[in-house]
Amino acid sequence: MIAFMFILFGALLVLSTPIAIVLLTVTGATLYFYLGVPLQAIVQQLFNGMDNFILLAIPFFILAGSIMAEGSISKYLVDVMNLLVGRFRGGLAFASVLACIFFAAISGSSPATVIAIGGIMIPALVKSGYGDRFSTGLLTCAGSLGILIPPSIPMVLYCLVMNASVGKLFMAGFLPGLLIGGVLMLYAFILARKHGWRTTQDISFREGLRLIKKASWGLAMPVIVLGGIYTGIFTPTEAAAVSVVYAVLVEVFIYKGLTWSRFNKTLKEATVLSASLLFIIACAMTFIWLLTREQLPVKAAEFIVAHVGNKYLFLFAINILLLIIGCLMDIVSAILVLSPILFVTLQEFDIDLIHFGIMMIVNVEFGFLTFPFGLNLFVSMGITGKTLTDVAKAVMPFLFLLLICLLIITYVPSISLVLPNWLMP
Amino acid sequence: MRNLWKAVNNMEELFVGYVLLILAFGATWQVVMRYGFNIAYDWFEEWARYLTILVTFMGASLGVKYGTHFSMEALTQYSPDWLAHLLKVVANLVASIIMAVACYFAWIQISKLARYGVLTPATQVPMWIPYLPIGLFSAVISIRFFMQSVKHGKAILSKEPFCRTRGPA
């Protein structure tokens, strides 16, 4: 049965069948041919899988991210970050990374962060004499922080399939996100010293105050959304809903940067994208039900523990596997399928679910940046007009930096766990 | 006629979007009422969950139209145009069949729930109603996958180049 599932899964994937359909077909065929279960069970599981309030957080975060990426919040955020660090050597690059970190704290999406900040900062960096390739690579990579710094859409998905705490995983993403942001800024500083990149800017105190005042609506957002979750005022799903309402009110009625026709277009695109993701989840939940019913995670754990000596080797192997998968298919779907299979193995090796979740999310970042299917590469192509190969080449040095960070995050669990263990014991 | 069809399509897309938007405003209102006035609406969470099912299946049918469903394109990316189209013909046909099967069993489930008079826990509405989007839109998804299959079949015959760009994602 396992061989049948494996072969059918691989064959349908290679055919370029949509991943949701692959999951549904494998589940249906296994139930019908091997287990003799009436196929009505599929419909029940599709329904049960979707009958969960936390799922709504995903379309809400996508919608809020899209509205803010289309609107003016990102522009004002960039102005403030530039005001804070722009005067230093390589300051515009620092401002870019900080703006990505800040935007990541109000949006849960990596491509939305690249669109919002990259759309403004890549041309600005190039104009200020920062290298073309460096500017594209930096923003494409820093945009991926959108999913590591909370809120984060893939984190909600991981928690859904692993039954983990969304609040804890969100909290665990802070320090790894800042680590990666710090490494990117350090690299920018070294290059800025080498090439003498400096932006001369002269902003008066009054002008600075005006910029901060203008950006205050955007600056207040993480305090409202994340503060609301951690003070227990609202659940992560409600936080996502609040961020949509806040984004609509600020962008449409206060900043007035979004016309109704553009708003409707954004709404349509965000909805179709959300539904594609939700449909994968519905089908994945059906597949996960089958896995659990047949105790496949237990069998996988027995096999892995017998063949992989220790947890360090296991974590290394998972990282390699995910890096390869990220080059072949949509990494978020891969995580939806792989994580539940590995659930029992994690218990056997005594690996913390939250730590493993953060490691998975950093791997998703890689998946967003690797040739030829990385979503961020496509977004940067759209912004810069470069070819996919050129963007992929620009990202290469940053991938190396991200790899170092991934290894640190994998083998030093306390980076991920110190905050949730301290603040949410 | 073409304009009418375009308007219907536009309405379909906007409907799903505005359902989501209303849910977001509803959930925010729920927070305000809970913390401001200690009032909680039990029915909201139940119907929000059921409307998520509607958004998922209705939106997924739109996703077929726009090609936003994620798939592994490693082979289609590097194969000749005719082979890429052929792979898509088979892939979409498989998808159409499995969704037709899902549709068939969804209607069996809906009729069973209606026959036994099962009600939803909070609002006591017939349980077959929340199942309805699965039955309706799995049919639409199946038809749209079939149309995609036909489109790629025609493209082989007319030697059309294979479009290798991704959707709006």
Q: Which residue of A has its CA nearest to B19?
A: A271
Q: Please write down the HEC assignment for all residues of B12-57.
A: HHHHHHHHHHHHHHHHHHHHHHHHHHCCCCHHHHHHHHHHHHHHHH
Min distance A51 CA to chain B CA atoms (Å): 5
Inter-chain CB proximity B13 and A328 less than 8 Å: no
In the structure, what pLDDT confidence band is assigned to residue B166 with cuts at 50, 70 and 90? very low
Q: What is the pLDDT of residues B87-115, one digit of tens each?
A: 999 999 999 999 999 999 999 999 999 99
Name residue A231's amino acid: T
Instruction: Give the single-character DSSP code of A255.
Output: S
Which of A18, A47, A264 is facing B134, going by the closest CB pair?
Answer: A47
Whether residue B56 has pLDDT greater than 50: yes
pLDDT in tens, B4-16: 777 777 788 889 9
CB within 8 Å: B95 and A21: yes
* Rounded alpha-carbon distances, angstroms, from residue B124 to A212, B49, B51: 51, 15, 16
At B116 the pLDDT is 92
The distance between the two most distant Cα atoms of chain B, rounded to a whole number of Å, is 66
Q: Which of B46, B72, B108, B128 to mutate to test the interface with A (most CBs of A within 10 A)?
A: B72
Q: How confident is the model at residue B164 (pLDDT cuts 50, 70, 90)?
A: low
Determine phi and psi for B164, rounding to 5 degrees: -105, 15
Which residues does chain A have within 8 Å of residue B26's beta carbon, measured at their own beta carbons?
A: 241
> Closest to A241 (Cβ–Cβ): which among B18, B27, B63?
B27
Beta carbons of A113 and A103 less than 8 angstroms apart: yes
For A:324-363, CB contacts with B below 8 A are: 328-330, 332-333
Distance CA B102, CA B94 (A): 12
CA distances from A359 to A112, B106, B138 (A): 21, 38, 35
Chain A residues in contact with B45 by the CB 8 A cut-off are 53
Confidence of residue B134 (pLDDT cuts 50, 70, 90): very high
**Cis-peptide into A372, omega within 30 deg:** yes
Q: CB A16 to CB B71 under 8 A?
A: yes
Interface test with B, best of A23, A30, A50, A237 (most B CBs within 10 A): A50
Cβ–Cβ gap B91/A28 under 8 Å = no
CA atoms of B49 and B70, how far apart (whole Å): 24
Q: Which residues of A touch B32 (CB under 8 A)?
A: none
The kind and range of the H/E element at A91 are helix A91-104
Share of chain B residues as helix, strand and coil, in percent rounded to the nearest 5: 80, 0, 20
Asked if B131 lies within 8 A of A47 by C-beta distance, the reply is: yes
pLDDT the model gives residue A82? 82
Q: When comparing pLDDT for B69 and A317, which is higher?
A: A317
The question of ipTM being above 0.95 is answered as no
Q: Do B71 and A40 touch (CB under 8 A)?
A: no
Cβ-Cβ contacts under 8 Å, A39 against chain B:
101, 105
CA-CA-CA-CA dihedral for A103, A144, B168, B146, to nearest 10: -140
The rounded distance, in Å, linking the Cα atoms of A401 and A188 is 12
Q: Which two tokens stand for residue A376?
A: 């961020």
Nearest to A361 by CA among A102, A57, A154: A154
Look at B75 and A15 and tell me if their CB atoms are within 8 Å: yes
Give residues 276 to 295 of A whose Cβ lies within 8 Å of B.
Answer: 276, 278-280, 282
**Cα–Cα distances in angstroms (integers) from residue A253 to residues A80, A246, B35, B51, B106, in the given order:** 21, 10, 25, 27, 43
Read off the tokens for B162: 């294979």
User: Which residues of A fall within a CB distance of 8 Å from B166?
Assistant: 378
- Give CA–CA dist A100/A96, Å, rounded: 6
Cβ neighbours of A224 (radius 10 Å):
16
Phi, psi at A18, each rounded to 5°: -55, 140
| Chain B residue with Cα closest to A236 | B27
Tell me, yes or no, if A35 comes closer than 8 A to chain B by beta carbon: no
Q: Of A74, A25, A106, A66, which is closest to residue A274 (Cα–Cα)?
A: A66
Determine whether the interchain pair B66/A50 forms a contact, defined as Cβ–Cβ distance below 8 Å.
no
Q: Is the pLDDT of residue B1 over 70?
A: no
Q: Which of B31, B56, B91 lies closest to A50 in CB terms?
A: B56
Residue of A nearest to B138 (CA): A43
User: Which residues in chain B have their CB less than 8 angstroms from residue A42's CB?
Assistant: 102, 105
Q: Could you tell me the two tokens for A292?
A: 């659990």
| CA angle at A330 for the pair A370 and A29, rounded to the nearest 5° | 150
Is the model's pLDDT at B81 over the cut of 70?
A: yes
Per-residue pLDDT of chain A (425 residues; tens, 9 = 90+): 888 888 998 899 888 899 899 999 999 999 999 988 888 899 999 999 888 888 899 899 889 888 888 888 888 888 888 888 878 888 889 989 999 998 888 888 888 888 888 888 888 888 888 888 999 999 999 999 989 998 898 999 899 889 899 989 999 999 999 999 999 999 999 998 888 877 666 777 788 888 888 888 888 888 888 888 888 888 888 999 999 999 999 988 888 878 888 899 889 888 988 898 899 889 988 988 888 888 888 888 888 888 887 889 999 999 998 888 887 777 788 888 889 999 999 999 999 999 999 999 999 888 889 876 688 888 888 888 888 788 889 999 999 999 999 999 999 999 999 999 988 77
* Three-point CA angle A394, A399, A400, nearest 5°: 115
Is the pLDDT score of B167 beyond 70?
Answer: no
Q: Taking CB atoms and an 8 Å limit, are A59 and B55 in contact across chains? A: yes
